[in-house]
């Protein structure tokens, strides 16, 4: 974000910034300094150069893009219409795009093309209209009339026709086009009442973002009102957006350690017949990973009656292993239900727990405890799809095993139902694309924490009867097919003792 690299730690609309004033007079010297003396333009160097010549570091980094042979950036600068950088918006047949952690891309792109407009935001925008005026009262009234009309149509038909939706967003665009320049000027000049507008900035930003998303609305999205009368746009199928971007480039390589299930990612990346999907065997010795399947029923209905059996199994794992173990749950609700009983049930106090809103320091403390306390190992409780289920390296004795509790399948939701219905209409596996495939990928990601080097040894315990189903076997990695069945905690202990 701009404010993170800004030496004044502020957004561009907060106050006049000395680094913006006369930018185009001073940029030439800053650019020459970088081009003549350096070949690598990282954040620190950009910041130092910008400070020397008193220019905006964010703007300087954008200006340097056209001189670079290699650009490293976040997904958003390539796929998000609200953050898209100009060089990436143009067709470039000789560009090669390498997309790391590509398993996260469908969800990110879907989020980029989804949005919400709340009545609370409209009320805040009304305050700006009444304060600034500029003839925008009529446009705001038309917007409100269209909003109510859309609500009534949805209440009667349970759907919003594209034509009705675009008529409403046109009214929104008319208001924004007339109001936004006056809004920014009022804030910049600190005209009377500007304090009120400062409280409205976020609502205006959300309104503008919603309209950008709305401008891309087509059959791969759906617009609807939820129970709180929030107008939502949900991207049902991000594959079209991904392909639109990659078609502008010469070659695109999506890569990740876990592009499974393959059928899911082939569809999400909109691969064509002449595109290649390569699955490269793991460089690690498969004999270093013991995979156990404990078919303890984990459906929502049976969790409570199987809780004691699960607690006993976790206690067994904790006491018979000599290293840290990560236990992944499908939800915080289930995690906390187990954590609440585990210490008194097991007599073990060496546990770590992932909380829903962990600060940066708390995350580091969690990982540091696993990396530095091998002599007194922890049982660490975390959530699948969370911050500790991917992109962390716990090498050697830092982690000796992972337990996956449940198949991770989320409960049915309105959003999931809409996605499933869309893919069913395309004669595809709606439940798979809405629920099963993304969940299985999160499981594979979490399991991947065990073996992180050629010398690592460890175990994976899959706790749910559904892991034995044919559908799961077809979607999971081939080397998981040699599951060793264990029916009791005693059998788990026996297998672990023999292996570890």
pLDDT per residue rounded down to tens, the chain (500 residues): 566 777 766 556 555 577 777 888 889 999 999 999 999 999 999 999 999 999 999 889 989 998 999 999 888 888 887 777 767 777 888 889 999 999 999 999 999 999 999 989 999 999 889 888 778 899 999 999 999 999 999 999 888 888 889 999 999 999 999 888 888 888 878 888 888 888 888 899 899 999 999 988 999 999 999 878 899 999 999 999 999 999 988 899 999 989 999 999 999 999 999 999 998 888 888 889 999 999 999 998 899 999 999 999 999 999 999 889 999 999 999 999 999 999 888 887 789 999 999 999 999 999 999 988 777 899 999 999 999 998 788 877 789 999 999 998 888 999 999 999 999 999 999 999 999 999 999 999 999 899 888 888 999 999 999 999 999 989 988 888 778 999 999 999 999 999 98
State the pLDDT at residue 32: 95
C-alpha to C-alpha distance for 403 and 170, rounded to whole angstroms? 51
Domains of the chain (ranges; CATH) run 1-68 (no CATH), 73-104+242-280 (no CATH), 115-235 (no CATH), 286-499 (3.40.50.300)
State the pLDDT at residue 401: 94
Q: Residue 236: which of 467, 12, 433, 32 has the closest Cα?
A: 433
Max CA distance (Å), the chain: 80
State the pLDDT at residue 152: 92
In the chain, how many H helices and how many E strands? 22, 12
C-alpha to C-alpha distance for 240 and 216, rounded to whole angstroms? 11
State the pLDDT at residue 9: 63
- Tokens (6 digits) for 75: 């997904």
Q: Say how far residue 279 (Cα) sits from the centre of its chain.
A: 24
State the pLDDT at residue 406: 95
Q: Find tokens 């969940």 and name the residue.
A: 439
C-alpha to C-alpha distance for 170 and 473, rounded to whole angstroms? 49
Is 475:260 a contact under the CB 8 Å cutoff? yes
Neighbours of 186 (CB within 10 A): 19
Which H or E run includes 309? helix 307-320
Q: Find tokens 């409100």 and name the residue.
A: 144
What stretches of 64-104 show up as alpha helix (H) in DSSP? Answer: 76-79, 86-89
- Tokens (6 digits) for 69: 């042979």
């Amino acid at each position: 974000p701009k404010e993170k690299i800004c030496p004044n730690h502020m957004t561009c609309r907060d106050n006049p910034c000395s680094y913006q004033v006369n930018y185009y007079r001073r940029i030439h010297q800053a650019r020459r300094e970088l081009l003549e003396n350096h070949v690598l333009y990282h954040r620190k160097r950009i910041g130092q150069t910008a400070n020397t010549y008193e220019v905006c570091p964010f703007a300087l980094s954008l200006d340097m893009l056209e001189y670079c042979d290699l650009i490293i950036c976040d997904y958003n600068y390539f796929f998000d219409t609200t953050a898209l950088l100009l060089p990436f918006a143009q067709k470039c047949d000789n560009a090669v795009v390498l997309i790391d952690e590509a398993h996260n891309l469908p969800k990110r792109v879907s989020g980029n093309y989804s949005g919400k407009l709340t009545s609370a935001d409209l009320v805040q925008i009304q305050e700006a209209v009444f304060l600034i005026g500029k003839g925008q009262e009529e446009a705001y009234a038309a917007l409100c009339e269209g909003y109510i009309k859309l609500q009534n149509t949805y209440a009667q038909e349970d759907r919003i026709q594209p034509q009705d939706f675009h008529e409403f967003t046109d009214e929104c665009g008319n208001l924004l086009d007339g109001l936004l320049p006056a809004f920014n000027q009022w804030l910049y000049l600190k005209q009377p009442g500007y304090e009120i507008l400062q409280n409205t900035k976020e609502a205006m930003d959300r309104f503008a973002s919603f309209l950008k998303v709305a401008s891309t609305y087509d059959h791969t999205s759906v617009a609807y009102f939820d129970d709180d009368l929030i107008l939502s746009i949900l991207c049902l199928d991000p594959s079209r957006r991904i392909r639109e971007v990659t078609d502008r480039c010469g070659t695109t390589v999506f890569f990740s350690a876990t592009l499974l299930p393959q059928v899911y990612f082939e569809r999400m990346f909109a691969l064509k017949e002449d595109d290649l999907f390569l699955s490269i065997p793991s460089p690690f010795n498969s004999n270093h990973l013991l995979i156990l399947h404990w078919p303890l029923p984990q459906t929502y209905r049976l969790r409570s009656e199987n809780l004691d059996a699960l607690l006993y199994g976790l206690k067994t794992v904790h006491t018979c292993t000599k290293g840290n173990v990560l236990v992944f749950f499908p939800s915080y609700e289930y995690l906390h239900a187990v954590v609440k009983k585990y210490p008194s049930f097991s007599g073990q106090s060496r546990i770590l727990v992932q909380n829903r809103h962990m600060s940066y320091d708390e995350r580091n403390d969690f990982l540091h405890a696993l990396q530095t306390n091998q002599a007194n190992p922890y049982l660490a409780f975390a959530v699948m799809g969370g911050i500790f289920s991917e992109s962390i390296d716990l090498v050697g004795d830092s982690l000796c095993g992972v337990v996956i509790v449940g198949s991770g399948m989320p409960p049915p939701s309105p959003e999931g139902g809409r996605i499933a219905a869309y893919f069913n209409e395309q004669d595809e596996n709606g439940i798979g694309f809405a629920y099963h495939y993304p969940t299985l990928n999160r499981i594979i990601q979490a399991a991947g924490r065990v073996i992180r080097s050629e010398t690592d040894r460890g175990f994976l315990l899959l706790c749910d009867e559904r892991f034995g189903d044919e559908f799961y076997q077809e979607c999971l990695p081939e080397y998981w097919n040699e599951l060793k069945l264990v029916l009791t905690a005693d059998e788990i202990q026996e297998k672990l003792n023999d292996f570890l």
